[in-house]
Amino acid sequence: MFKKLRADINAAKKNDPAARNKFEIWLTYSGVHALSWHRVAHFFYKIKLKLLARIISQMAKFFTGIEIHPAAKIAGGVFIDHGAGVVIGETAEIEEDVVIYQGVTLGGTGKEKGKRHPTIKRGAMISSGAKILGGFTVGEYAKIGAGAVVLKEVPAYATVVGVPGMVVRVNGEKVNDLQQEKRDPLMEEICHLRDKVFCLEEEIVKLKAEKEDKKKS
């Protein structure tokens, strides 16, 4: 546990330019505190003291603003920056060197059983407000943009942005086959609605013609 704490403090020192020294990080960084509380809660969860584990996790949430289910698996060397509003679900798994900013959710998409929260591989960065929902994997050193809503697998070294999240770069190079920059979702929806109106107008004309035929007969 202390080895993981040292790794968490080192990760904060490495990733936060505002960090002055390790003692200050240990005293004042809510992300480090939340992870330390989580490791205690996770220990009790593994030995079947689940109520005690949940009480500890809720205390940590009260003091840090970060909610981590005690069953979540988190390696040492993870950095939660600021952390307010971060939620990490029961079956989530996070490897070392991952950076998570405030407002991030690692959640599920329903009430299904089993693996329903994401696995975040080594070195990934998840920006402020991103929502990663589902039991898939975010690959090594992937970058998730601020406010993105990710609903499917993310390859290693990819950059994902948007709602829903789309891969725009892999290994720093643009992905050419998506063409999302040329898409206009609002215009697509208007065109779809226009087509529906045309179909309804044709149906109305047909019904009027049938009504007139019945009157004549």
What CATH number did the domain enclosing 122 receive? 2.160.10.10
Residue range 62-113, pLDDT digits in tens: 999 999 999 999 998 899 988 889 999 989 999 999 999 999 999 888 777 7
Please give the average per-residue pLDDT across 155-164, as a whole number: 89
175 and 191: one domain?
Answer: no
Domain match, 58 and 88 both: yes
Distance, CA of 54 to CA of 71 (rounded, Å): 9
Mean pLDDT value across residues 182-191: 72
Residue 200 and residue 129 in one domain: no
Q: Kindly state whether residues 114 and 207 are assigned to the same domain.
A: no
pTM over 0.75: no
CA distance 64 to 73: 19
The DSSP bridge pattern shows strands 67-68 and 87-88 to be parallel
Q: Is the pLDDT reported for residue 168 higher than 70? A: yes
* Range of the structural domain that residue 16 is part of: 2-181
Most confident of the following: 22-26, 55-59, 114-118: 55-59
211 with 143, same domain: the answer is: no
Domain count of the fold of the chain: 2
Task: Please check whether residues 207 and 158 belong to one and the same domain.
Answer: no
137 and 109, same domain (yes or no): yes
164 and 67: one domain?
yes
Q: How much is the pLDDT for 58?
A: 94
Query: Is 88 found in the same domain as 7?
Result: yes
Same domain, 8 and 51: yes
Residues 208 and 136 in one domain: no
Task: Tell me: pLDDT of 6 over 60.
Answer: yes
140 and 169 within one domain: yes
Does the pLDDT value for residue 179 go beyond 70?
no
